[in-house]
Structure 1
Amino acid sequence: MLVKSGLQRVALRPLARASQRFYATPSAPGAVSFALSDEQRAIQELAQTFSREKVVPVAAEYDRTMEYPWPLIKEAHSLGLLNTHVPEKYGGPELGLLECSIISESVAFGCSGIGTAMEANGLAEAPLIVAASHEIKNKFLGRMTEEPLVASYAVTEPGAGSDVAGIKTKATKVGDKWVINGTKMCTNSGHANWFFVLAVTDPDAHPSKSMTGFVVEGDTEGIVRGKKEINMGQRCSDTRMVTFNDVAVSEENIVGKRGEGFKIAMKAFDITRPLVAAGAVGVAQRALEEATKYAQERKTMGQPIINHQGVGFMLADMAINAEAARNLVWRSAWAKDAGERNTFHASIAKTFASRAAVENANLGVQVLGGIGFNTEMPLEKLYRDAKIFELYEGTSQIQRLIISRTLPTIYPA
């Protein structure tokens, strides 16, 4: 797929496994490097140009109006910045996770709400990439690459967020159909062309084997989309309650096998958590840049405030946060691209990067002082936007639970 714009032309198809080519294998001589390949730098430049020239100028207005950013979704699609891990076989660029994380960071730098609207596509697509049949992939992933559509990952429920095993939505076999009943709370749901739905199909089985994933067309009878939720931050991202009232789907709509839904959802997180963490890095980096520029312009006591140790140390902490978070994200993405299980590193990356975003936004407001508390300055929005990173795609506490339970396998007694 050739991606064209007036700013850049990037041939994405040859980049499908750029990170594997660049890093070789974990044990190969010279495999560890912090440089990007020429292809990866081209992707980064394309994404950063899109973010700085198209997203940054309109971010505050989208935050104010809370409108869904369709014009930017369409432009991102035309540039090849959507659906980036969809396999070539189904029309996508099949980028490695490292390349996808570079894009996620770049877009979130401009506006993490717009970044979430884009990244929610990847979350809905991930279970299909992991486990769906060729027919489902061809039908649902193929259409995403052909035109600017969005999809929704319908797993979270009002009473079951981080506790995925506690979901109540049920799918019951009636004749040759599966009938879904339940309520979800999910991103992009007001505009979704289709949903990935996790539902209980075997209530007597262990939670890890009781659920099944389904792909459901957005116009299926019985789907009721609620009102847009007004969130503290990322306000142009569309979050709504979606109710499934006797929604009938065929056996062919099952993703993977019956009873494997929980396992598939967890595998999907290995793809998406590093990308959410990358978005947090984008927020942390934006806060650092805005605060550093301001500190060089604002003067007190006859000199720029960056020269005052109290301010300089805050900026130094922000730089440490952003750099360390990015390296953790790249580590987790590299592991996945190299064929390793990256759950442990993905949870570490998400936990640290989420905290980095929150701390950098907080410190950024502090550097700007009273004006940083004003809506005219981007730090106010970054401060509100940052918090969600510690909540969605598994709270920071859930990530720590995953990390702590993994440690005995790494360091057995």
Structure 2
Amino acid sequence: MDFAPEETHLALQRMANDFARQEILPAVEDIDRQKDPAVRFPAALLEKGSRLGLRTLALPEERGGGGADLLTLCFVGEEFGWGDLGVASTFAQDWCVSRALGGICGEAQFADFSSRFAADHAAHLTRTELSANPPAENWMPYAPDAEEADEDIPAGAASEGDGWALSGFASHVMNGAAARWILVSVDSGDSDDSVGEEGRRAFLVDAAEGGGPRVSRHHDPMGMRSCQDVALAFEDLRVSDSSEIPCESGAWARAVPSFFALPASAALGCARRATEHATGHARERVQGGKPIIEHQTVGFMLAENLMEMTAARRALQAAAWAADQDGFNGEVPDLRESYLTRVFVSEACERIARRSMEVWGGAGYMTEAPMERFVRDMTSFMHSGVMMNSLRARAMPLI
């Protein structure tokens, strides 16, 4: 086993770090302070990254992308997460869905999608599942428009002529309003929970055709504020027959590692930057006649950060490397490792962010200090996409 960085990894890592320093960092403070969640999405910033080839890194080279494997994407994702967890999560979502489509679509279908996605620098991707009822959290008694809660819409995909009509709700869809293509799955009544998607009917919805789904709510998360969090309503949305994805047996399973490893790599970057701020502050802040980094309590916290961050990074890289090897060999990846690695890395990063804030003492949670945003971002991350105990539950039958 050898997942040490190669020159390709290091070159892309340097490019991503330069982009984070020069483009992401100067922009994210203003984005974070925006009051209206509907206008926070940094489309111009992401387009700059796209023109450098960063948005399409996960596409094969012959399809106009960078041809990066999962391990390479983890190196790049950490650098973006160092810049901003929300921006990194948007790129990670594009990579995840790109890799998933490469595994589950037919060759002609994927070629058609890839050519259009690579050519449109403003295009982004997302993924969601449809449910029959508007999720309870979309109706909030304290919200000004709470009385305008959506009516129930039966979830499903009905065949109509030469296409399909999609109906249902989707809650907390990352970048759902900005996405050009949405990978939608609908329960066909024969779902396998250990894989999460087998037995579901899937479609690739082009939101530019037919108007796309309706955005029924822009949520306002406490962190990751550069990343959209919306609720979508599919109301008999017409899609063509060519939009359906065949979902061959085992195809979804091969997509699982990307959906869990890449967001975790972004979280690792956020934790790394929090630790850097904490360490710098501890070297400069003097109490009792010496820098607080020389106080045992503070030193212990920083040592704990380094220990957890190193272990989390190695665990993530090992899982990504193993998934790449399975992909090269045409084997189904170890889903248990994907689930549990995401849990381990995510929870370690949340602890690192909180511990780093504590190093700053009473000043740490003030909005003028940099630390509180890392804690907000990691708290939002832990509640976005999938809950950690849900992944533990998925891993249980595989033990």
TM-score tier after normalising by the smaller chain length: 0.7 to 0.9
Contact 1:372–1:380 under 8 Å retained in 2: yes
Distance 2:86 2:292 in 1: 31
Structure 2 matches for 1:230-249, cutoff 5 A?
230-249=220-239
Distance 1:390 1:270 in 2: 18
Does 2:177 align with 1:193? no
Distance 1:45 1:310 in 2: 34
Percent identity between the two aligned chains: 27
- The one-character-per-residue Cα deviations of 1:164-219 (angstroms, maximum 9, x if unpaired) are xxx9731011233211111112111111112111113x44x456665211011103
Task: Choose which of 256, 259, 264 in structure 2 pairs with 1:269.
Answer: 256
Does 2:343 align with 1:356? no
- The one-character-per-residue Cα deviations of 1:374-403 (angstroms, maximum 9, x if unpaired) are 112221100000023333343211222233
User: Which consecutive residues of structure 2, in runs of 5 or more, have no partner in the other structure?
Assistant: 138-152
Does 2:7 align with 1:32? no
- 2:386 corresponds to: 394
Contact 1:222–1:246 under 8 Å retained in 2: no
- 1:108 corresponds to: 81
Change (3 A) 1:225 1:109: same
Change (3 A) 1:233 1:266: farther
Secondary structure of the residue that 1:43 maps to in structure 2? helix
Distance 2:15 2:287 in 1: 38
Distance 1:267 1:385 in 2: 29
RMSD of Structure 2 on Structure 1 (CA): 2.3
Structure 2 matches for 1:109-124, cutoff 5 A?
109-124=82-97
Contact 1:280–1:356 under 8 Å retained in 2: no
Report deviation, 1:221: 4.2
Secondary structure of the residue that 2:68 maps to in structure 1? coil
Secondary structure of the residue that 1:338 maps to in structure 2? helix
With normalisation by structure 2, the TM-score equals: 0.86
Does 2:29 align with 1:60? yes
Counterpart of 2:337 in structure 1: which amino acid?
H
Counterpart of 1:301 in structure 2: which amino acid?
G
- 1:310 corresponds to: 297
- 1:126 corresponds to: 99
Report deviation, 1:159: 4.3
Contact 1:97–1:337 under 8 Å retained in 2: yes
- 1:150 corresponds to: 124
Counterpart of 1:119 in structure 2: which amino acid?
A
Distance 1:215 1:32 in 2: 36
- 1:345 corresponds to: 337
Change (3 A) 1:337 1:123: closer
With normalisation by structure 1, the TM-score equals: 0.83
Does 2:360 align with 1:368? yes
- 2:50 corresponds to: 77
- 2:202 corresponds to: 213
Change (3 A) 1:168 1:122: farther
Secondary structure of the residue that 1:60 maps to in structure 2? helix
Report deviation, 1:265: 4.5
Bigger shift: 273-282 or 338-347? Answer: 338-347
Does 2:370 align with 1:384? no
- 1:45 corresponds to: 14
Distance 2:11 2:70 in 1: 16
Change (3 A) 1:168 1:406: farther
Counterpart of 1:169 in structure 2: which amino acid?
A
How many aligned residue pairs are there?
A: 366
Counterpart of 2:10 in structure 1: which amino acid?
R
Change (3 A) 1:126 1:96: closer
Distance 1:294 1:397 in 2: 34
Contact 1:284–1:321 under 8 Å retained in 2: no
User: Which consecutive residues of structure 1, in runs of 5 or more, have no partner in the other structure?
Assistant: 1-30, 162-166, 408-413
Does 2:164 align with 1:184? no
Report deviation, 1:266: 4.5
Counterpart of 2:177 in structure 1: which amino acid?
G
Distance 1:190 1:338 in 2: 35
Contact 2:167–2:236 under 8 Å retained in 1: yes
Task: Choose which of 153, 156, 175 in structure 2 pairs with 1:170.
Answer: 156
